[in-house]
Amino acid sequence: MIQDPISLAFSTPFVMDLTRIRFDDMVSFIVGILLAVTAHAEAQAFAATFFGDAQTDNSGRFHFNPLLHLDISGTICFLAAGFGWPKPVLMKFEQFSRPRLYMLLASLAGPFANFLLASIAGSVIWLFREYGVEDRVFGMVMAVNLTMAVYHLLPIPPLAGSAILPIVFPALIKVWPSRIAGWAGAAVLILYFGFERVSGRHDVGGILSQLAGRLYQIFIS
């Protein structure tokens, strides 16, 4: 007998409503954020190392401590728009044999890891469902990671998709990633998606949220 798809326990992306805080959702959201930023940053570090950017001291890369991966502006964006970013992973493009290509691939390893983590969470949800158990934590983990994977395709720093800019504009590789561009991009993202939330408009966010929501439904159907 084919079971009906699991209904969404919350919207995707999940955005915390400060006027009606549910403690279980808040805890699940925090867990989802910590897992998402850790998987994202560690995957980028691993890919950068794999492509040739090996460093003598990897303590700043491979520590699997989510608190050390949290970025202030990225965390604010999580609260404002349901997605965010970890602290940037330092990459030295001169270590790559093909700098622009490997910089892009190493950056995209982050959202790819988020997608894989969402897939694992979806498998756990399916397993629980087989035993008649409904779980909100793994559902939230999947929602946060899918949202992060989708939104990071935007070519705006500090998002992973911005690594395509040095391919389009080769001169940028010498100054990429730019700390100033990261700060400016973070401000634009927080202000824009914060405005969408306050105004009720869903332009760019609406398109990306629909994609994340459809992926969520596919994973849990």
Instruction: Quote the domain boundaries for residue 94.
Output: 23-220
Tokens (6 digits) for 19: 């006027």
* 7 belongs to a structural domain: no
Task: Please check whether residue 6 lies inside any domain of the structure.
Answer: no
Alpha-carbon distance of 115 to 144, in angstroms, equals 10
* 90 domain-assigned: yes
Nearest by Cα to 90 from 52, 40, 51, 55? 55
Residues comprising the chain, all counted: 221
How many domains in the chain? 1
Say whether pLDDT at 27 is over 80. yes
10 in a structural domain? no
In a domain, residue 207? The reply is: yes
State the pLDDT confidence band at 50, using cuts at 50, 70 and 90: very high
DSSP H stretches of helix in the chain: 23-50, 66-69, 72-81, 99-130, 137-151, 165-168, 179-199, 204-220
Q: 178-204 pLDDT, tens per residue? A: 889 999 999 999 999 989 888 888 889
Residue 17 lies in a domain: no
Q: Is this model's pTM higher than 0.85 or not?
A: yes
In a domain, 2, yes or no: no
Q: Residue range 77-97: average pLDDT?
A: 90
pLDDT at 12: 66
4 lies in some domain: no
Give the C-alpha separation, 127 to 155, whole Å: 36
User: How far is Cα 32 from Cα 138, in angstroms, rounded to an integer?
Assistant: 8
